[in-house]
Amino acid sequence: MHNNIKKNDTKIAGNKTIRDWLNLKEKIDKDSNNEKLWDEAFEFFKKRVFTRYIEPAEDIMNNICSKDLGEGFTISTILCSLIEALETFHQGMHFTPGKPQNKYEYTHGQSKAIFTSFLTKRDPFKDVFNNKNLAEDFYSNVRCALLHEAATRNGWVIRVDTEKLVEMNGNKKILNRNKFLEAIKNYIESYRRELTTNAELKQAFVRKMNSICNTA
């Protein structure tokens, strides 16, 4: 019992704890169409994403010592590491190191499909990655290359002086790291609007939050 009490005090979203989520979920279970409760639920998601990913990326971007000497790699790495979580919130899925026991679990080797699903289906990314080949190219040669080798491959470069999120220039594919962050923030706002009205998305959200609490 003591261990459960201690675990329930674990912070999972800014200062919000597992206990806070369990208390809110109990209210949601009794009144699942209450918009105010879902506004509170979204705050768990937003606090978790912003304090752990968005705000650190912004701090790097806005640091007065920034000399545009490659810090875009750090910013883009942070954002790439977040995309899989954003998509699994949307689908209500969670990672397991073992064999998946149900359709809401996934394991090693399935990250590519989840990552590219986000790029090709979610606003505003789907207008840029409007074909599967480009999304898979980004996954392999930006996301994986950054996370595994601290590099980009296959003509991808990261810059700050372009007008679009992704631009083609000869053999180069240019990712604008500032617009990458802006697009992520735009997605989060569109997710908030959809969450309050979409019953399937609400169920997915609860599954994801429960899995976060169970594995914390």
The continuous run of DSSP H or E covering 172 comes out as strand 172-176
Question: Pick from 193, 214, 208: which is nearest to 48 by CA?
Answer: 208
Looking at every residue in the chain, the average pLDDT score rounds to 94
3-state secondary structure at position 20: helix
- Which burial class, exposed, middle or buried, applies to 29 when counting CB atoms under 10 A from its CB (0-12, 13-18, 19+)? exposed
Q: What is the largest CA-CA distance in the chain?
A: 62
pLDDT for residue 216: 82
pLDDT tens-place string over residues 100-158 = 999 999 999 999 999 999 999 999 999 999 999 999 999 999 999 999 999 999 999 99
> Reduced to 3 states, what is the DSSP secondary structure of residue 156?
strand
Distance, in Å, from the CA atom of 54 to the CA atom of 101, rounded to the nearest integer, reads 32
| Overall number of domains in the chain | 1
φ, ψ of residue 38 in degrees (nearest 5): -75, -25
Helix (H) or strand (E) holding 12: strand 11-13
Please return the burial class of 81, using the count of CB atoms within 10 Å of its CB with bins 0-12, 13-18 and 19+: middle
Rg for the chain, CA atoms, rounded: 18
Residue 2: pLDDT above 80? no
Q: Please give the residue range of the domain that contains residue 66.
A: 2-215
pLDDT digits (tens, 9 = 90+) for 38-57: 999 999 999 999 999 999 99
Task: Please choose, from the candidates 115, 107, 118, the residue with its C-alpha nearest in 3D space to the C-alpha of residue 141.
Answer: 115
For the segment 149-169, what is each residue's pLDDT rounded down to a tens digit? 999 999 999 999 999 999 999
pLDDT in tens, 202-213: 999 999 999 999
Alpha-carbon separation of residue 15 from 10, 33, 47, 82, 135 (angstroms): 9, 26, 8, 20, 35
